[in-house]
Structure 1
Amino acid sequence: MTQTALIRPAWTPATIALMVLGFMVFWPLGLAMLAYIIWGDRLEGFKADVNRATDNFACSFRKSTQGRHGMRASSGNAAFDDWRDAELARLDEERKKLDEMRREFDQHMRDLRMARDREEFDRFMASRQASQNSKPRTSGSVPEIDG
């Protein structure tokens, strides 16, 4: 069973009513609702970008807490420090693999889009050429009559 949200980023009666009500109560609310209607479909991508940026920001703090020359602060237990360094190295390697897989997938999707666009363009050109070939050609010269 498919359910649709009552308030989704589209011009639905509910969103229009909320926008008008927002303008009547307090104009920034109406403006916010209008922005949601227009740009709300991009919200998921925006959230992903914000999450990525905050992760990078937090990572910069983690790097700054490391001691000099990239050494991590010691916990006082050499065995734990060795284990932690090995695990962090393994996680970094996994992250690099995932980043590479993401880049490959993005390239694959770009290639698919390009192939689809090329196919659509070729189909358009073929239909255009066929429609031009099917039109009778009129020329300014008078055909000769054998007689």
Structure 2
Amino acid sequence: MTPAHAYAGPSNAASWFTRATDWLDARGKGAWIATMVLGFIFFWPVGLAILAYVIWSKRMFSGESCARSARSMAPTRFRGSGNVAFDSYKADMLRRLEDEQEAFETFLQRLREAKDKAEFDQFMEDRQKRTDAETGDDKDAA
């Protein structure tokens, strides 16, 4: 009998593919991009196939790599430095920056709403002038 590993059937191909994608995922988006570029350089259909797979699997846009890096960055943001005064200052500064960001986003929203209202008012005014002009032309003709 032949050993099970001697048969290169679909399960071995699938495990190779899974190992390759896991290896690239562990190295992040840069590894996927580098692999895709090399695929385009050496044989363009391979690069195109990698691009299609990356888009189809949402590896570039899922934020999985970003989430992994955010998890690795999260402890430094919330972990204390050991200096109570600095930690207090840092917490206060982060709170103030978040408040400023929220105030700025609120300001931008009000600005967009005001611009939209001004554009709508201008549209209605132009429409009224056009209607009055058409009505005036009809009265002159009669």
TM range (shorter): 0.3 to 0.5
Greater helix content = 2
Task: Give the alignment's TM-score, normalised by structure 2.
Answer: 0.48
Task: Give the alignment's TM-score, normalised by structure 1.
Answer: 0.46
